[in-house]
Amino acid sequence: MTLHHNLIAGEWVGSNGVENINPSNTNEIVGLYATASADDAKTAIAAAKAAFPAWSRSGILERHAILKKTADEILARKEELGNLLAREEGKTLPEAIGETIRSAQIFDFFAGEALRLAGEVLPSVRPNIGVEITREPIGVIGIITPWNFPIAIPAWKIAPALCHGNTIVFKPAELVPGCSWAIVDILHRAGLPKGVLNLVMGKGSVVGQAMLDSPDLAGITFTGSTGTGKRVAAASIEHNRKFQLEMGGKNPMVVLDDADLTVAVEAAANSGFFSTGQRCTASSRLIVTEGIHDRFVAALTEKLKTLVVDDALKAGTHIGPVVDERQLATDTDYIAIGKKEGAKLAFGGETIERENPGFYLQPTLFTEATNQMRISREEIFGPVASVIRVKDYEEALSVANDTPFGLSAGIATTSLKHATHFKRNSEAGMVTAGVDFHVPFGGRKASSFGSREQGKYAAEFFTVVKTAYTLA
């Protein structure tokens, strides 16, 4: 089997390959991927540092051409790359192809942004003095990405970093090296100079730690667990570097008595259980008012009965496998916790077998949950959601905001008054029915720290503002 190497200083290097296992069929090895050492990470950082002066002053047409060529190739290969994503992460094939298309759109957006880099020219309060405000790249960026969106999240970090003239050391999640390797390969062949983008696949405790310990990283952008995010923050403060954290969520979806029941059920099923519930924006707390509660629970339960859990590549599959054995154990542990806490298991909760060995779990719905239960406070990151019964809109809003997290929130209602009030008073970074690629992404409280990702707002992290005065 071909060994996929790390990319350091423009050269494909490495050995000690690790098998990438398909969670839909654990008998299948998706690929063999090299493991970087701490010394490899240090070499990659040095290469990125050496490449920064030239790349930071590169022409906007050069950046545009590379990003545009990358977008075009990803889009042209969407079925192939989507198949790879589905096999290594477990998303259904339609979801995987959709994520691949989104990554192409992100590169295309930032290809355009490269041609729109701008500053300001302002008059001074003093005579005969001009003021120029510009944005400059900050230096070497460390990028650390999770396993749940293995092509989209790397795209929305790598594309703006390159667009704004930074160089990169990129460490993807160990579970999903395939999509990351493919993106780096495409960018490399698109014409990136040596050292501008470096790929170091491997263990977080080794490669990630070497990145955290380096004084030569000007910034780290991280998406992953809250615990690791705190370590990134502490290490970054030590080195006085910029850091950007996207972490957990325990997102509420409020369903009011006046909601369209069909719409509410479809939204809850999609958000809570599709992508196997393995997304930080999943609506895992369903906060439902009394008048519609029983009808909503009955309809959602019937909906869950129709969802097919099977191999991610099979036509007709709605929910693929959990990503690996460890995450499956976490999910089943939380299901046991929910039962012990007194929540009612309304549907699912069992591991299941399919034609091939894999990590399959029924979508799981708890009812009669309270907002104080662990299953309502802690992120499970699986196809598990809890219904919390409330009296009215005011209690629903209070319960929705009563969480240490603040990533996303949603509401199902036909009342413009309540929808408008919820948008303004929800303590979340996004009040959402989706996540578009050209608008800011990020949360509040323990969900996020630092400036927003995606769209024009990405410039806040990947650049530093300079103010220059000129005496006429």
Residues carrying an active site annotation: 246, 280
The Cα 450–Cα 222 span in angstroms is 11
In 3D space, the residue among 378, 278, 291 whose CA is nearest the CA of residue 328 turns out to be: 278
Q: Where are the beta strands (DSSP E) in 224-273?
A: 242-246, 251-255
CB 138 within 8 A of CB 112: no
**Rounded to the nearest 5 degrees, what angle is found at the Cα of 175, between the Cα atoms of 441 and 66?**
55
The Cα 244–Cα 462 span in angstroms is 10
Question: What residues contact 269, with CB distance under 8 A and at least 6 apart?
Answer: 300, 303, 304, 307
CB 232 within 8 A of CB 245: yes
Q: What is the DSSP letter of 392?
A: S
Cα-only R_g, the chain: 23
In 3D space, the residue among 299, 309, 293, 245 whose CA is nearest the CA of residue 267 turns out to be: 299
